[in-house]
Amino acid sequence: MTLTSSAPAVADSPAATAVPPGIELREVSKQFAYRGGQLLALDGVSLSAARHSFVSLIGPSGCGKSTVLRLLAGLETATSGEVLIDGAPVTRDRRRQPLGIAFQDAALLPWRTVRQNIALPGEVIGTKSSPAQIDALIELVGLQAFADAKPRQLSGGMRQRVAIARALVTEPEVLLLDEPFGALDDLTRRTLNLELLGVLERKPATTLMVTHAIDEAILLSDTVVVMTPRPGRVLAVIDIDLPRPRGLEVLASERFRALEAEALRLLYGGMEQA
């Protein structure tokens, strides 16, 4: 939801305060036990994604980006601080907080077909999708010819398409994406970037995406959060004020290039301080 600048004092209106952020971390720290000692992965990270907005997380390798997603998915517990989804603390009960998750490694079940892999989350949480809904998702990610193929028969890019379709099958309120397009060639990556934009226009979800591609982060996001090298802290929050709907023409705009330059400066400046 975008608040226009013409609406005065909108932050104080009941409508604005009634909707909690889709995703929120408050002063979150995470320590791992490592080689008999402690490793501080996240140090007081606060970030927030307005409901149904798209936020990207960028930062050097090892700065804790995946840890942020794992905390939101309930796969790790914060050492201190609060992790909230739609205003409620994260629980391990997925039925109460349907999440769509697509991580770096597609992690498909090798003995299941594309269709069966996509259907899996619905079966697990007991909201089975109809064959027509599954077909629509398969078509969305362009895998009609491979609906009954097994993962080993697919390329890496195709497996990632399956993972994205699977993340969307429960029509989640919150989508967590960990470098979902990282292993794809540039052309496929762009195609899937645009498809994801289209999907989210039709079925909005609060989305947090980790990526190492700055251009992809800017193309897709409302907000880009730049993290410091480990221990991960929030270095900067960049508001991506490009109009929507967005297409590839955005990549050539002056404003896009300025945002990209700013993100690069923050990212590499942050690394020099390390």
Ligand X SMILES: Nc1ncnc2c1ncn2[C@@H]1O[C@H](COP(=O)(O)OP(=O)(O)O)[C@@H](O)[C@H]1O
Binding-site ranges for ligand X (CB under 6 A): 32, 34, 39, 41, 61-67, 230
Please identify, among the stretches 32-40, 59-67, 105-113, 246-254, the one whose residues bind Mg ion according to the rule CB under 5 A. Answer: 59-67
CA distance 203 to 192: 16
Beta carbons of 30 and 69 less than 8 angstroms apart = no
Q: How far is the CB of 179 from ligand X (least distance, A)?
A: 8
Q: How far is the CB of 3 from Mg ion (least distance, A)?
A: 32
CA dihedral of residues 72, 75, 81, 84 (deg, nearest 10): 30
User: Pick from Mg ion, ligand X, none: which does 5 bind, CB < 5 to 8 A by kind?
Assistant: none
Residue 187 pairs in a beta bridge with none
User: Pick from ligand X, Mg ion, none: which does 67 bind, CB < 5 to 8 A by kind?
Assistant: ligand X
Cis omega (within 30 of 0) for bond into 231: yes
User: Pick from Mg ion, ligand X, none: which does 61 bind, CB < 5 to 8 A by kind?
Assistant: ligand X
Q: How far is the CB of 126 from ligand X (least distance, A)?
A: 30
Q: Would you give the DSSP letter of residue 228?
A: P
Tokens of 19: 């909707």
User: Pick from Mg ion, ligand X, none: which does 39 bind, CB < 5 to 8 A by kind?
Assistant: ligand X
Closest CB to Mg ion among 163 and 199?
Answer: 163
Interface with Mg ion, residue 113, by CB under 5 A: no
Closest CB to ligand X among 121 and 229?
Answer: 229
Closest CB to ligand X among 193 and 228?
Answer: 228
Interacting residue ranges for Mg ion, rule: CB under 5 A:
66
